[in-house]
Amino acid sequence: MSTDTRDEDALSTEEQDDVLQEVDRSRTHQGLSAALVALIGITFSAFQMWIAARSYQFSVTLPVVGSVEIASLQPLQVYSIHVTFALVLAFLLFPASGGDGRIARRLGAIVPAARRRFGPDSSVTRAVERLGDGLRWAAVDPNLRRITPLDAVLAVLSLFPMYYVVTSYDEIKRLATFGIQSGEPLGEAIPLLEPFVVALATFGVPIDEQSGAFLLGALGIVLVLEATRRTLGVVLMSLIASFIAYARWGYFIPHDSAIGALAIQPDTWASIVYDLWYTTEAGIMSTPVAVSVRFIYIFILFGAFLEMSGAGKWFIDLAYSLTGTRKGGPAKASVVSSGFMGMLSGSSIANTVTTGAFTIPLMKRSGYSPSFSGAVEASASSGGQVLPPVMGAAAFLIVEFTGTAYSDVIVAATLPAIAFFFGMWVMVHFEAVRGGIGGIARGELPNGLENFRTGWFYLIPLVLLIHFLVIARLSINRAGWYTIIAIVALIAVVAAYDERSRGPLFGSIAAITLAHAAAFATYGVGLGTAIQVPIGLESAADPYALGAAATAAASDLGTIAILVSVGFLLARPRSDAPLLELDSAVDDSARRSAEAIGRPSIAGNAGYRFGTFVVKSMDSGARTATTVVIAVAAAGVVPGVISVSGLGPNLAALIEAVSGGSILILLALTGVAAIIFGMGMPTTAMYIILVAMLGGPMEDLGVWVVAAHLFILYFGLMADVTPPVAVAAFAGAGVAKADELKTAITAFLLSLNKILVPFAFVFSPGILLVRETGGEWGLIGWADISDLGFFLPEVVVPVLGMFLGVYALGVTIIGCQYSPVDSGRRTLYAAASIFLMVPEVPLLVLEGVLSLAGLSVGLTDLLVTLPLRALGLAILVSLSYRNSARASGAELGAATPTPNDV
């Protein structure tokens, strides 16, 4: 049983929800609306789990009857269902208005103006008041507690475009040949809407003359824009809308103007709607949504299951037990645990709040300031999205956009991610030295050995995930599905386990698994089918070899463990579950649901808690995924417009002209654009938009494609902690009860590694453990390692330089090493950091200055960068020696008695 590391300053589940609600403006439902939203979310997750397990074929196997096919869907149909689930949840979870926006305030001023103009008793005033009341009732939700009529209408409208895609797919295929206007009328496409079409035609709105495909496609695009505004803000919605407008009217740009390269060929609304809604090559239903369907959602769900299982709390306790007594131990534990959970959740904000509820109070109690505590949590949580093997959702997007193997992506991303967290670690250590902050007494921390003994099984899903992806090389969605099964199986076994059931439980699982293997070896089918063979209901197949039979049985071990454990829970409903420590959100949900059905006593039942764990994980995963799905759907418009409009080559030429062919200027422009685009925007959306616009020009200048994508990702994550938006930092400030701007500035400084590290691996790709040979990039192998002429200068030196540079940067930011560092020496530490990590940057700047003077000199050769790194190392060693000596002298002076002490 783990020790509770929270104290009186820790946030409760309700307080965490309040902070999240304040940041992302989502609703907290109660009663029937909560049940409805949960049901939709669970259904969404069930749909995605089926996709991961069975692909796009929907069928069931019935006794005697056999397999019955329900549906076989095409990719466009699946993507449409996926986006529709997200649209419905977005309209139910996020209000159209809270009544405090600029437009709402202006509309709200009409009533007071009418009172002043016509008097309070005027019929005009009363009419305006009633109209205002009606609008507020229909669309405004200031308390974030109710579903408005407008929300319900938009949620229902979201179903119609999806219904048309699913039921009229043959017609959609014909649209590619005959045009979107050749589609059947709206009333025929969706008979339910026929009365509505007739009514509008009666009033002079001839939508019956328009193609149903065009109207429904346009409706789908408008709904995606509105969902984007609600979930992600006006900025992203305006950006996407501007690209759509550009696709229609971009041909008005004069070819001979300064931006003439952006001029495109004329296009029609019909063509634009078709390209953006009905194709999987470009637009909303294109690659980003495909990645969401196949990869992102299942791993968001994996993170939700792992978090709700209690793994997050266990890992935090483990980190504290290992580092909590050290100098600055609570902050170091926060760096480790927050990075780990941020890797899984893929949401900087949510992870800052949920993990920070545990870590921030302990950091404050140990002596760190509230703003520094919130900043550490926000910076580490955002950094988790660059940490392999999951990397939030980013790894899967990089795999799909670059065509690089997943194993190559996570290997390449490993050392830069470790360098970032190493930098975080040394900075919180230096802050502890500066503030004289020690650790927490061992008696106040969890017992490390006991904590590991009671929760070691939480590591099994992670080990299996790496095994499935790297060794077994399963598809990403299948690996995610198997790992979810493993988590559910583990929690089912833990729920059914106690001293009395231990033997029978594991014995039953082993016996059924052996029988399952014997069935494969004897009949060539599993145990369930083999039982039916002797009575003639099923036929046998070719028997498996013993090894193959054992492998087949082992692949079903998770399912067997779940079925056996559930059987034990049903047979022993009052059994104790001493090892079952689920997330507090699960227990809160179990308590509320038990009270709602009038049986509060079952909230502590192990079986009921297990069932709540499953559905709560599915609901939580759907809620987290909603924002991501809307983001990738909206962001898909940008590469779609670039592709179908022919803008791509012109945009690349314009970017090259602006950068002047300089890799340094291009990287700087890309970094600034990523931070600006990423402010208040999910990482996935920022990544898709920036890769579409800037990824190609970076590759053209010789940057490895994965390095270019990682560069954009790192800088995009900086937006989460960059003022004035800094959403993750503001969430951390809310948990820490600190000043928001001060927390954001501190988080930005702590995250500066995310700026220098990307420059380092772009200029020195050996940091990513890759080598270019004959124009082809690949991971280094033993032959490359044995080639010391390559390995030492191109890999070892840059890697050591990166870590030493991160260390020097930490001293620069905190202003302390062994003892305080004055501003002059901090400048020298900063210079050492740059020389060690990115000597190419000052050299390229010098090249540019010399070129202005008419001198063309190449200074980034190894013969120049290597001595510059050596100079940086000499500066760092010299400064560190003097700082250490000064610290030793200060300690000696403090220990030497003076005459006044005698």
Q: What is the pLDDT of residues 4-61, one digit of tens each?
A: 444 445 555 555 556 655 556 778 888 889 999 999 999 999 999 999 988 888 877 7
811/701: higher pLDDT: 811
% of residues, the chain, pLDDT over 90: 39
Q: Cα-flanking dihedrals φ and ψ of residue 649, to 5°? A: -60, -40
Over residues 305-324, the pLDDT tens digits come to 988 998 888 888 888 888 87
Does 3 have pLDDT greater than 50?
no
- Say what the pLDDT of residue 893 is: 62
Does 567 have pLDDT greater than 90?
yes
Over residues 108-148, the pLDDT tens digits come to 788 888 888 888 888 888 888 888 888 888 888 888 888 99
CA 195 to each of CA 161, 187, 233, 459: distance values in angstroms, whole numbers, following the listed order: 18, 8, 35, 58
Does 487 have pLDDT greater than 80?
yes
- Say what the pLDDT of residue 5 is: 45
- Say what the pLDDT of residue 413 is: 93
Least confident piece of the model among 301-310, 459-468, 671-680: 671-680
- Say what the pLDDT of residue 420 is: 94
Nearest to 695 by CA among 719, 658, 720, 669: 669
Does 559 have pLDDT greater than 50?
yes
- Say what the pLDDT of residue 876 is: 96
- Say what the pLDDT of residue 2 is: 36
Over residues 846-884, the pLDDT tens digits come to 888 888 787 777 777 888 899 999 999 999 999 999 999
Query: Which pLDDT band, with edges at 50, 70 and 90, does 62 fall under?
Result: low
CA 630 to each of CA 51, 91, 94, 196: distance values in angstroms, whole numbers, following the listed order: 19, 11, 12, 28
Task: Say whether 467 sits in a helix, a strand or coil.
Answer: helix
Over residues 676-720, the pLDDT tens digits come to 777 767 777 778 888 877 777 888 888 899 999 999 889 888 888
Mean pLDDT (whole number) for 472-494: 89
Least confident piece of the model among 269-283, 515-529, 637-651: 637-651
Structure tokens at 340: 């780990």
97/615: higher pLDDT: 615
The Cα–Cα gap between 365 and 444 comes to 12
Proportion of the chain in helix, strand, coil states, percent, rounded to 5? 75, 5, 25
Mean pLDDT (whole number) for 172-186: 89
Mean pLDDT (whole number) for 735-755: 91
- Say what the pLDDT of residue 847 is: 86
% of residues, the chain, pLDDT over 70: 95
Does 225 have pLDDT greater than 90?
yes
Highest mean pLDDT among 123-127, 204-208, 426-430, 494-498: 426-430
Residue 897, preceding peptide bond in cis (omega within 30° of 0): no
Residue 724, preceding peptide bond in cis (omega within 30° of 0): yes
The rounded mean pLDDT for the chain is 86
The Cα–Cα gap between 604 and 585 comes to 14
- Say what the pLDDT of residue 20 is: 57
Q: Within 10 A of 36 (CB to CB), how many other CB atoms are there?
A: 14
Does 345 have pLDDT greater than 80?
no
Query: Which pLDDT band, with edges at 50, 70 and 90, does 239 fall under?
Result: confident
- With beta carbons less than 8 A apart as the criterion, state whether 732 and 352 touch: yes
Highest mean pLDDT among 340-349, 607-616, 650-659: 607-616
Over residues 608-630, the pLDDT tens digits come to 999 999 999 999 999 989 988 99
Does 447 have pLDDT greater than 60?
yes
Over residues 771-792, the pLDDT tens digits come to 998 888 999 999 999 999 999 9
- Say what the pLDDT of residue 12 is: 57
Does 230 have pLDDT greater than 80?
yes
- Say what the pLDDT of residue 4 is: 41
Over residues 752-762, the pLDDT tens digits come to 988 999 999 99
Query: Which pLDDT band, with edges at 50, 70 and 90, does 803 fall under?
Result: very high
Over residues 370-397, the pLDDT tens digits come to 999 999 999 998 888 888 877 776 777 8
The Cα–Cα gap between 809 and 420 comes to 11
